[in-house]
């Protein structure tokens, strides 16, 4: 057989030739909607490739982005990887010290940022992080523009012709850091091959079911696991794309989905439930919405039920991680399940995280490393391996897999006899707030550096809007008169605002287990009735 490298530029060349008239619609700048088709998009990507080369970006270099979901961000995805460099998407919700760490670790050569992130970019430009060039993606009216150039101006002077180099499919194309619960964030480097295989398999009818008639809006951000790979998957199958930019509020989102005749959306439960509430209040749905993909955190059954029953939107539930590109399981019914289960039973099944597609393997082990039965009841540590699962973290000499080649997910799960996996818990105690992670350990560490605080523990408590929010339980040092306002002020200077615990509880002592560790299980039980509004 011929060797045909699976590269991101091959996706671009394919969609340009075969689905060139399908559309890209982007709510990018304030009050401005950009519209083009894939042929025009490909020309802009070529201009960007020329511009990157003119800047001295070389194969293997990391080029960072701090950007919303827009056509420009997608142009960066393709142009950077197309010339053999690596597109490093930075999550702007990280704290400044985390962003600085990530940029230094990745050794980014350039930073492309949206207007909204001008302040972050400015601060970064004042540090010696090795970034040689800053480019603003939006139409910028700021007077403080001495440190950056304009994306659109740079593109305008470049030719629309470019020959994509033939690349080794095993080189890196995209880099994304995980929001680790302990220690520093870790980078996951996706290769051209892993991206292409992930797209081919995940989009299949039996899996995500993306077809050329679709108009797909990835609500999930492009700065987190490549928006679940959709910027590659969707063009590969000729569907149109809609980018909502920074419009994450339910009403704005609803209007975009409705106006642009979006058929397919993908997002985390928090955003989808806000959208659902809006739909309920207005007794209306985005006119042609037919399908949604939910993941990143467990959706509640009523979200699935309401979308399916009240609005005739087919809900697909999936599970994955930054380390798994991310799609690793999807909850689609096997034929005998489709035939034999009634609607209520099928809904119940959809609450499970789903079954593996071809290219991914799962196993459950107990604390002794023995495989536990797939009976849908027995819990085990979930291990995964496959063609788009990370083997080691970026910049690490050593493998992060087990000696027999599995990745330990840190999730506790069951798998039933039909292969459907269900997440039971996170073995670490990370707090999932609105689809993003809050490290309980980091919050505890910071709080306990405050004078007057002897001990701190953070646990997640159910929240009607954000799924979960942190609460902090504190033990004061002797003679301390620290109060809630003091600790809030202390944390406000040190953590992102959305990490701020919703409640602070002072107690005399924390429950300590046999190995000297705080027993979070006991705390969860004790504070399970805390109600957050
Ligand atoms: P991240 O690497 O930030 O995308 O987070 C991955 C983690 O999110 C997984 O290990 C799970 O703990 C959690 N997660 C992802 N999808 C789901 C889901 N559908 N249900 C429950 N937890 C999920």
CATH of the domain at 502: 3.30.300.30
Residue 325 alpha carbon to ligand 1 centre in Å? 12
Residue 432 alpha carbon to ligand 1 centre in Å? 9
To the query of whether residue 499 is one of the catalytic residues in this protein, the response is no
Residue 391 alpha carbon to ligand 1 centre in Å? 18
Residue 469 alpha carbon to ligand 1 centre in Å? 16
Rounded Cα–Cα distance for residues 66 and 113 (Å): 5
437 CA closest ligand 1 atom index:
3
Question: Which pLDDT does position 425 carry in this prediction?
Answer: 64
Pocket test for ligand 1, best of 228, 319, 355, 362 (most atoms within 8 A of CB): 319
Number of domains in the chain: 2
Q: Report the run of H or E that residue 231 belongs to, with start and end.
A: helix 230-236
Q: What would the pLDDT profile of 363-386 be if each residue is shown by its tens digit? A: 999 878 999 999 998 878 899 999
Strand positions, DSSP E, 366-479: 380-386, 407-415, 421-426, 431-433, 436-438, 453-463, 467-476
Residue 321 alpha carbon to ligand 1 centre in Å? 6
Instruction: Output the 3-class SS for 133-145.
Output: EEEECCCCCCCCC
**Final residue belonging to a domain, choices 187, 209, 231:** 209
323 CA closest ligand 1 atom index:
2
Number of other CB atoms surrounding residue 265 within 10 Å = 26
The tokens for 121 are: 């970019």
Question: Which pLDDT does position 254 carry in this prediction?
Answer: 98
Q: Kindly report the CA angle at 482 between 476 and 487, in degrees rounded to 5?
A: 100
The answer to the question of residue 192 being in a domain is: yes
The tokens for 408 are: 């330990």
**Final residue belonging to a domain, choices 209, 232, 255:** 209
* Nearest CA owner, ligand 1 atom 9: 321
353 CA closest ligand 1 atom index:
19
The answer to the question of residue 74 being in a domain is: yes
Q: Which residues contact 208 (CB under 8 A, 6 or more apart)?
A: 202, 233, 293, 316, 327, 330
* Nearest CA owner, ligand 1 atom 20: 298
**Band (420; pLDDT cuts 50, 70, 90):** very high
* Nearest CA owner, ligand 1 atom 16: 296
Q: Is 136 helix (H, G, I), strand (E, B) or coil?
A: strand
- Give the CATH number for residue 163: 3.40.50.12780
The tokens for 13 are: 């060349």
Q: List the catalytic residue out of 154, 169, 260, 323.
A: 323
Q: Is the pLDDT of residue 349 over 70?
A: yes
Q: Is the pLDDT of residue 515 over 60?
A: no
Rounded Cα–Cα distance for residues 342 and 345 (Å): 5
Question: Which pLDDT does position 273 carry in this prediction?
Answer: 84
410 CA closest ligand 1 atom index:
10
The answer to the question of residue 56 being in a domain is: yes
Pocket test for ligand 1, best of 321, 354, 382 (most atoms within 8 A of CB): 321
Rounded Cα–Cα distance for residues 341 and 264 (Å): 25
409 CA closest ligand 1 atom index:
10
The answer to the question of residue 165 being in a domain is: yes
Rounded Cα–Cα distance for residues 457 and 447 (Å): 9
**Final residue belonging to a domain, choices 180, 209, 238:** 209
* DSSP symbols for 276-322: HHHHHHHT---TT--EEEE-SSPPPHHHHHHHHHHH--EEEEEEE-G
Rounded Cα–Cα distance for residues 54 and 25 (Å): 28
Q: List the catalytic residue out of 432, 436, 444, 466.
A: 432
Residue 425 alpha carbon to ligand 1 centre in Å? 10
The answer to the question of residue 481 being in a domain is: yes
318 CA closest ligand 1 atom index:
19
To the query of whether residue 178 is one of the catalytic residues in this protein, the response is yes
Q: List the catalytic residue out of 437, 467, 468, 499.
A: 437
Q: In angstroms, how far is the first alpha carbon of the chain from the final one? A: 61
Residue 295 alpha carbon to ligand 1 centre in Å? 7
322 CA closest ligand 1 atom index:
2
Rounded Cα–Cα distance for residues 240 and 316 (Å): 20
Q: Is the pLDDT of residue 516 over 50?
A: no
Residue 296 alpha carbon to ligand 1 centre in Å? 4
Q: Kindly report the CA angle at 92 between 488 and 182, in degrees rounded to 5?
A: 65
Asked, as a colleague might, if the bond just before 326 is cis with ω within 30 of 0, I would say yes
| Half-sphere exposure at residue 130, Cβ-oriented, CA atoms within 13 angstroms | 14
Rounded Cα–Cα distance for residues 322 and 309 (Å): 32
Q: List the catalytic residue out of 8, 89, 133, 178.
A: 178
326 CA closest ligand 1 atom index:
4
Q: What would the pLDDT profile of 87-101 be if each residue is shown by its tens digit? A: 999 999 888 998 999
Cβ pair 145, 139 in contact under 8 A: no
Q: What is the arithmetic mean of pLDDT over 4-12?
A: 98
CA 98 to chain centre: 17
- Residue 62's nearest CA partner among 138, 118, 12, 133 is 133
Q: Is 529 helix (H, G, I), strand (E, B) or coil?
A: coil
Range of the domain at 77: 8-21+32-209
* Nearest CA owner, ligand 1 atom 7: 321
Residue 297 alpha carbon to ligand 1 centre in Å? 5
**Band (164; pLDDT cuts 50, 70, 90):** very high
Cβ pair 355, 329 in contact under 8 A: yes
Question: Which pLDDT does position 364 carry in this prediction?
Answer: 95
* Nearest CA owner, ligand 1 atom 1: 321
Question: Which pLDDT does position 519 carry in this prediction?
Answer: 78
DSSP symbol at 242: E
- Residue 409's nearest CA partner among 201, 178, 190 is 178
To the query of whether residue 323 is one of the catalytic residues in this protein, the response is yes
For residue 240, what are the β-bridge partners? 215
The answer to the question of residue 317 being in a domain is: no
The answer to the question of residue 231 being in a domain is: no
Residue 16 alpha carbon to ligand 1 centre in Å? 34
The tokens for 500 are: 């701020």
The tokens for 503 are: 């409640």
Q: What is the arithmetic mean of pLDDT over 51-64?
A: 98
**Band (528; pLDDT cuts 50, 70, 90):** confident
Pocket test for ligand 1, best of 297, 330, 355, 439 (most atoms within 8 A of CB): 297
Which residues form ligand 1's pocket by a CB distance below 6 Å? 178-179, 225, 295-298, 317, 319, 321-322, 326, 353, 409-411, 423, 426, 437
Q: What is the arithmetic mean of pLDDT over 350-360?
A: 95
* Model pTM score: 0.84
Least confident of 31-40, 178-187, 481-490: 178-187
What percent of the chain is modeled with pLDDT above 70? 96
């Amino acid at each position: 057989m011929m060797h045909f490298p699976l590269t991101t530029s091959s996706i671009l060349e394919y969609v340009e030739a075969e689905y060139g008239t399908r559309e890209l619609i982007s709510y990018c700048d304030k009050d401005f909607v950009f519209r083009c088709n894939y042929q025009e998009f490909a020309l802009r990507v070529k201009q960007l490739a020329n511009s990157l080369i003119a800047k001295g970006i070389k194969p293997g270099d990391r080029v960072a982005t701090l950007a919303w979901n827009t056509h420009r961000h997608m142009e960066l995805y393709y142009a950077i990887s197309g010339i053999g460099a690596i597109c490093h998407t930075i999550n702007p919700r990280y704290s400044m010290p985390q962003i600085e760490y990530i940029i230094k670790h990745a050794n980014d050569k350039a930073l492309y940022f949206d207007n909204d992130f001008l302040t972050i970019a400015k601060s970064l430009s004042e540090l010696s992080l090795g970034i040689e060039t800053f480019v603003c993606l939006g139409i910028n009216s700021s007077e403080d523009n001495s440190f950056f150039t304009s994306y659109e101006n740079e593109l305008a002077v470049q030719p629309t012709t470019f020959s994509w180099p033939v690349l080794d499919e095993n080189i890196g194309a995209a880099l994304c850091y995980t929001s680790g619960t302990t220690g520093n964030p870790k980078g996951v480097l996706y290769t051209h091959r892993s991206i292409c295989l992930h797209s081919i398999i995940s989009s299949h009818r039996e899996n995500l079911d993306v077809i050329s008639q679709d108009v797909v809006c990835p609500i999930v951000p492009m700065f987190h696991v490549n928006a679940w790979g959709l910027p590659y998957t969707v063009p590969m199958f000729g569907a149109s794309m809609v980018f909502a930019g920074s419009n994450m509020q339910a009403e704005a989102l609803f209007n975009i989905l409705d106006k642009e005749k979006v058929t397919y959306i993908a997002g985390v439960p928090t955003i989808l439930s806000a959208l659902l509430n809006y739909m309920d209040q207005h007794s209306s749905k985005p006119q042609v919405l037919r399908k949604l993909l939910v993941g990143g955190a467990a959706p509640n059954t009523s979200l699935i039920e309401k979308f399916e029953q009240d609005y005739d939107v087919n809900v697909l539930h999936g599970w994955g991680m930054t380390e798994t590109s991310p799609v690793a399981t999807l909850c689609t019914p096997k034929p005998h399940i489709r035939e034999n289960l009634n609607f209520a039973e099928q809904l119940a099944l959809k609450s499970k995280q789903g079954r593996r597609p071809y290219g991914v393997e799962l196993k459950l082990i107990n604390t002794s490393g023995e495989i536990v039965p797939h009976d849908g009841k027995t819990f085990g540590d979930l291990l995964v391996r496959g063609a788009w699962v990370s083997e080691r973290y970026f910049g690490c000499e050593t493998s992060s897999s087990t000696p027999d080649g599995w990745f330990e997910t840190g999730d506790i799960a069951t798998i039933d006899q039909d292969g459907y996996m269900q997440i039971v818990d996170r073995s670490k105690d990370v707090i999932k707030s609105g689809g993003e992670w809050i490290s309980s350990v980091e919050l505890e560490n910071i709080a306990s550096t405050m004078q007057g605080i002897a001990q701190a523990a953070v646990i997640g408590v159910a929240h009607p809007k954000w799924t979960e929010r942190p609460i902090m339980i504190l033990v004061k040092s002797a003679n301390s008169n620290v109060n809630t306002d003091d600790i809030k002020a202390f944390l406000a200077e040190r953590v992102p605002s959305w990490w701020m615990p919703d409640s602070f509880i002072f107690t005399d002592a924390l429950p300590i287990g046999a190995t000297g560790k705080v027993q979070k299980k006991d705390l969860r039980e004790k504070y399970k009735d805390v109600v957050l509004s």
